[in-house]
């Protein structure tokens, strides 16, 4: 049985959605769940759920990391061997082989730093990358990095491309994924110094390199993987989410102000609008993998509800069963041996 650690203290409204989502996942996907966090807070929520026949264990962790944890204070909490916060305890379960993946909807930076220090990186990977899946006109695109590394070197972007392609193939079932380099122009030679220096590395690699892409190619679904530095990727992610919310809100607003005919039209298109909203909703994917660390770590939105947590566990289970971590290790090892 696949065993997934769920940080019960992760979401903004912890522990209710975290616990409920974990229970839903255990029932629907047949996974074992290790709920990590303050047992006194977890137990009352767990008692509200029907857990009969499910493999759910509570692992007590009296402390938690929050948005207030930053800088050296965060590093110390992430590194200290006897740390008792839910992220450290949960990731240690993964490191010690007691679980197969770790899921949290907590502070992204705290989760990334804790995973980095407690798991280390895969041999040959300099920096881990956060890799969410963006909806596109033709399906989806894995974009990395979106925040773990504001400043990158060309070698980092090549490693991101390799990891992203393996994830797209193994977990997203994309055959021969195309990899694009996010830039401000399609032509080779466009972009800042990082993009210009990264282009030849990607071009001569074994990846199916599409070349430079702009935002329109990404959203248009021309590539399956898009690589960029964490600063640019984070701006792209937050802007895309804000635009998606704005469009939905403005359509609703226009329908309400349009009178009876508009209201009637709104009722007629409601199923279609529901499908579009679901397509753009990040909770459908649940969480993004932190690729490059020596373990399967998934980080979701702080505003995750129970459905988002359930879906995050589903994606983590898919990653475990696909052997994506072993594949990344193998391919990176081969790339290190290449002349």
Domain 133-281 belongs to what architecture?
3-Layer(aba) Sandwich (3.40)
CB-based contacts of 71, cutoff 8 Å, min separation 6: none
Closest CA to 19 of 3, 36, 40, 31: 36
| Per-residue pLDDT, 230 | 94
What pLDDT does residue 262 have?
A: 64
Check residue 335 and give its pLDDT: 76
What mean pLDDT is reported for the chain?
91
The reported pLDDT for the residue numbered 252 is 80
Residue 85 DSSP SS3:
strand
Find the helix or strand (DSSP H, E) in which 319 lies.
Answer: helix 306-322
Q: What pLDDT band is residue 260 in, cutting at 50, 70 and 90?
A: confident
Q: How far apart are the first and last CA of the chain?
A: 41
Q: Which residue has the higher pLDDT, 238 or 98?
A: 98
User: What average pLDDT does range 251-263 have in this prediction?
Assistant: 77
For the chain, strand residue ranges (E) read: 3-7, 32-37, 56-60, 101-104, 129-130, 133-136, 139-144, 178-182, 208-213, 225-227, 288-291, 297-299
Boundaries of every domain in the chain: 3-129+285-330, 133-281
Collapse the DSSP code of 192 into the 3-class scheme (helix H, G, I; strand E, B; otherwise coil) and give the result: coil
pLDDT score of 265 more than 70: no
The share of the chain scoring above pLDDT 90, in percent, equals 73
CATH topology of domain 3-129+285-330: Isopropylmalate Dehydrogenase (3.40.718)
Residue 227: CA count within 13 A, CB half-sphere: 37
What pLDDT is stored for residue 249 in this prediction? 82
Instruction: Provide the edge-to-edge strand list for the sheet that holds 133-136.
Output: 133-136, 139-144, 225-227, 178-182, 208-213
d(Cα 142, Cα 202) in Å, to the nearest integer?
A: 16
Does the pLDDT value for residue 280 go beyond 60? no
- 339, pLDDT greater than 70: no
CA distances from 11 to 6, 119, 226, 309, 315 (A): 11, 22, 28, 9, 17
Residue 251 has pLDDT above 70, yes or no: yes
Assess whether pLDDT exceeds 90 at residue 272. no
Residue 43 CA to residue 46 CA, distance in Å, equals 5
Q: What does each C-alpha distance from 17 to 28, 266, 277, 302, 305 come to in angstroms?
A: 16, 31, 21, 11, 5
pLDDT at 279: 55
2: Cα separation from own chain's centroid: 19
Categorize the per-residue pLDDT at 257 as very low, low, confident or very high, splitting at 50, 70 and 90: confident
Predicted pLDDT of residue 39: 97
**pLDDT exceeds 90 at position 33:** yes
Are the CB atoms for 173 and 126 separated by under 8 Å? Answer: no
* pLDDT, tens digit, 9 for 90 and up, residues 195-236: 999 999 999 999 999 999 999 999 999 999 999 999 999 999
pLDDT exceeds 80 at position 138: yes
For residue 74, the model assigns a pLDDT of: 84
**pLDDT 10s digits, 91-102:** 999 999 999 999
| Whether the domain at 3-129+285-330 and the domain at 133-281 fall into the same CATH topology | yes
CB burial of 79-96 (b: ≥16 within 10 Å; e: otherwise) equals eeeebebbbbbbbbbbbe
Per residue in 139-154, pLDDT (tens digit) is 999 999 998 889 999 9
Q: Give the pLDDT confidence score for residue 273 in this predicted structure.
A: 59
Among candidate residues 307, 214, 336, the one with its CA nearest the CA of residue 17: 307
């Amino acid at each position: 049985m696949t065993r997934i650690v769920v940080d019960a203290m992760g979401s903004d409204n912890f522990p209710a959605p975290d616990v409920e989502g974990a229970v839903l996942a255990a029932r629907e996907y047949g996974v074992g769940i290790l709920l990590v966090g303050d047992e006194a807070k977890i137990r009352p929520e767990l008692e509200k759920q029907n857990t009969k026949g499910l493999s759910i264990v509570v692992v007590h962790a009296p402390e938690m990391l929050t948005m207030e944890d930053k800088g050296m204070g965060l590093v110390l909490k992430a590194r200290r061997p006897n740390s008792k916060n839910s992220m450290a305890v949960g990731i240690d379960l993964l490191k010690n082989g007691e679980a197969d993946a770790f899921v949290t909807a907590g502070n992204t930076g705290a989760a990334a730093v804790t995973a980095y220090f407690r798991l280390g990186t895969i041999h040959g990977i300099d920096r881990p990358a956060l890799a969410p899946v963006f909806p596109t006109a033709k399906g989806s695109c894995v974009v990395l990095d979106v925040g773990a590394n504001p400043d990158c070197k060309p070698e980092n972007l090549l490693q991101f491309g390799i990891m992203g392609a393996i994830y797209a193939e193994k977990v997203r079932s994309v055959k021969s994924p195309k990899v694009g380099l996010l830039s401000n122009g399609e032509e080779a030679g466009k972009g800042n110094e990082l993009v210009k220096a990264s282009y030849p590395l990607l071009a001569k690699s074994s990846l199916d390199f599409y070349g430079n892409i702009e935002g329109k190619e990404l959203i248009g679904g021309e590539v399956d993987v898009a690589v960029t530095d964490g600063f640019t990727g984070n701006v792209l992610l937050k802007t895309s989410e804000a635009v998606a919310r704005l469009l939905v809100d403005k359509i609703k607003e226009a329908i309400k102000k349009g009178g009876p005919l508009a209201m009637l039209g709104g009722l007629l298109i409601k199923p279609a609008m529901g499908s579009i909203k679901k397509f753009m909703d990040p909770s459908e994917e649940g969480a993004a993998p932190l690729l490059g660390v020596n373990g399967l770590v998934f980080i979701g939105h702080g505003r995750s509800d129970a459905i988002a947590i359930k879906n995050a566990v589903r994606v983590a289970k898919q990653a475990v069963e696909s052997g994506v971590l072993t594949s990344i290790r193998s391919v990176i090892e081969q790339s290190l041996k290449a002349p």
